[in-house]
Amino acid sequence: MKFVRAIWKLLVGIKDMLVLIFMLLFFGGLYAALSARPAPVHDGVLALNLDGPIVEQPAKASFSELAGGNRVREHRLRDLVGALDAARTDGRVKAVALDLDGFTGGGHSAMADLTDAIMRVRAAGKPVVAYGVGFTDDSYELASAASEIWLHPLGAVAIAGPGGTNLYYKGLLDKLGVTANVYRVGTYKSAVEPYIRNDMSPAARENYQALGEAMLESWLQEVHRARPKANVASFLKDMPGAVDAAGGDMAKAALDAGLVDHIGDRADFEDRLKALGGADKDATGGYRTIKLASYVSDKVPVHPHGPIGVVTIAGEIVDGTASAGTAGGDTIAREIDDGVANGIKALIVRVDSPGGSVLASERIREAIVRAKAHHIPVVVSMGSVAASGGYWVSTPGDFIFAEPSTITGSIGVFGVLPSFQGTLQKLGIGADGIKTTPLSGEPDLLRGPSADAGRLIQTGVEATYRRFLGIVAAARHKTPADVDKIAQGRVWDGGSARQLGLIDGFGGMPEATAKAAELAHLGSGDRDLRYLEPPVSVKEQLLAALASGSDSDSSSPDDAFSMLAGEPRRQLIQAIADIRMILAGPSIQARCLECGPVAPPQVTGEDRSLLQLIEAWLS
């Protein structure tokens, strides 16, 4: 027994020692992460390695994403623009490297803002060198602003332009016996079409064709402004012909058309950066590198007490509270109220959202109206998308800025309610019960909503639409009838929206800041921005530190067209999100699903398992 007790004590001691070691490692790592500071900034090349998308407000990392390797790195637009503007006059920055391998885009307005910032660096006399294995619409728009564009010998410039194929689920729903009960207002409110059709309606096709052509024209103007000698328009009209003329060499075709300046692999690109910024054998790539995170921390100012408050409405607008990257109605309303209580003199509402919940949109609008009641001027700055609920929250603005490429409008509402009477019939299951009033058990998802319930929901949708028209009419000094003519759920580009009176002028955050300062009568030296965001918790600091040191799940493409391989996956993710939305009904939505997601849809653990199952079946 003494021997057994001795063994037991030994095992307990080993266990205690392991626990102690684990605790020391955990808290040591926690301290290191929270106390870590960005590396000091030395002379060299400012490296913008844009793997992943550019967004207005990055979503917070989670432990599950980091542990599972499913985190997609997101780059905050204002950090990139701030870093580039600081680099113009910073003697330490010898050049800017724009590495676009793994870049997944970010919307027309964001690309225009970042392109302008790159061109300001060039105007200051500093070289900007872009590199990619392949360039598509967004990545080429950024690259076009660079002073040098490098393309891999096996690469290509594959510009597709706006457009593509959408998924329609009516046939699938019919096979499953699921009925999508749709309640909507608006000839062009086609967000519900995937649930009731197997193809695009003529009205939707007319709207999207006009929108797509306007977006393409805006893209061409931006690229021509940045790179006037490139034969982009002719290259787009006949890319196969251009490649044939180059002997089948896609990289040479891009070079011949003036779309790129140099053909070379990554080693050639890095040699060029060594010549510009100096060699460093210990650095990745062998050239003196200024890391973006360190530079943002060093040079991009943060003004927690600035007089101009900025609230960001990014992503889907949802009820209740939500973390960054999703616009929670209660969260944003509280941020605005806190900003007013803490003495802001003006408010900029930065919108990059296709809308969502009507109730959440109204709560945000009410908070903005409360701010105006304190004589605080409000300026709206629209990003790539400010449609439907995104336009709803914009209506209180004293002045609304947008870009010509901004997608806005979509003034309309809808509701989708699934019912499963067909599914039960296929399974041989009956459903029956009693009623004490016409609305007992309604809406009945097992047998389908009754005529009374359907009429009640449709009445609610129509009443919400009338309220939407009234809000817009009062804000834009029109009659509801006038607004109805340009509403009906139709989506507009920023240029058309200005002609129709839905916005007041073209511009981004600099113009919005100047207008806010003017309306608040602020001096030229009193225009610091205070971003109205919740304080970062200790947990969030730890996750951010861990995320900054981990690898993103986006990797550089192996050839020119492998960057397009992610498109089917994104469509599958979007399909899962669409199906999840219909199953979450009923609710009245002011959402522009046809505008496309501002950011990739968030995938839950259940969604990921389903996605893996579908991908395995397709492979």
Q: What is the pLDDT of residue 72?
A: 65
Q: Does the annotation mark 126 as catalytic?
A: no
Report the range of poorest mean pLDDT among 2-16, 422-436, 448-462. 2-16
Distance (Å, rounded) from C-alpha 49 to C-alpha 453?
A: 54
pLDDT-derived band at 576 (thresholds 50, 70, 90) equals low
Segment holding 207, helix H or strand E: helix 202-226
Q: What is the pLDDT of residue 120?
A: 96
Q: What is the DSSP letter of 412?
A: -
Annotated catalytic residue within 189, 299, 345, 478 = 189
Distance (Å, rounded) from C-alpha 491 to C-alpha 485?
A: 13
Q: What per-residue string of b and e applies to 566-591 under the rule 16 or more CB within 10 Å gives b? A: eeeeeebbbbbbbbebbeebbbbbbb
Distance (Å, rounded) from C-alpha 124 to C-alpha 560?
A: 32
Q: What per-residue string of b and e applies to 482-520 under the rule 16 or more CB within 10 Å gives b? A: bbbebbbbbbbbbbbbbebebbbeebbbeebbebbbebb
Distance (Å, rounded) from C-alpha 141 to C-alpha 232?
A: 11
Percent of the chain with pLDDT over 70: 78
| Residue tagged 């994104």 (tokens) | 570
Annotated catalytic residue within 139, 361, 384, 388 = 388
Provide the whole-model pTM: 0.84
Fold type of domain 44-163+216-299: 2-enoyl-CoA Hydratase; Chain A, domain 1 (3.90.226)
User: pLDDT tens, 381-390?
Assistant: 999 999 999 9
Q: Does the annotation mark 189 as catalytic?
A: yes
Q: Give the pair of three-digit tokens for residue 527.
A: 């225009």
pLDDT-derived band at 379 (thresholds 50, 70, 90) equals very high
Distance (Å, rounded) from C-alpha 5 to C-alpha 117?
A: 72
Average pLDDT, the chain: 84
Report the range of poorest mean pLDDT among 284-298, 401-415, 550-564. 550-564
pLDDT-derived band at 303 (thresholds 50, 70, 90) equals confident
Q: What is the pLDDT of residue 1?
A: 59
Distance (Å, rounded) from C-alpha 491 to C-alpha 472?
A: 15
Alpha helices in 342-450 (DSSP H): 358-373, 389-392, 421-427
Distances (CA, A) of 332 to 168, 309, 314, 397, 541: 33, 12, 10, 16, 21
Q: Give the pair of three-digit tokens for residue 331.
A: 């969260």
The number of beta carbons lying within 10 Å of the beta carbon of residue 322 is 19
Q: Give the pair of three-digit tokens for residue 8.
A: 């037991």
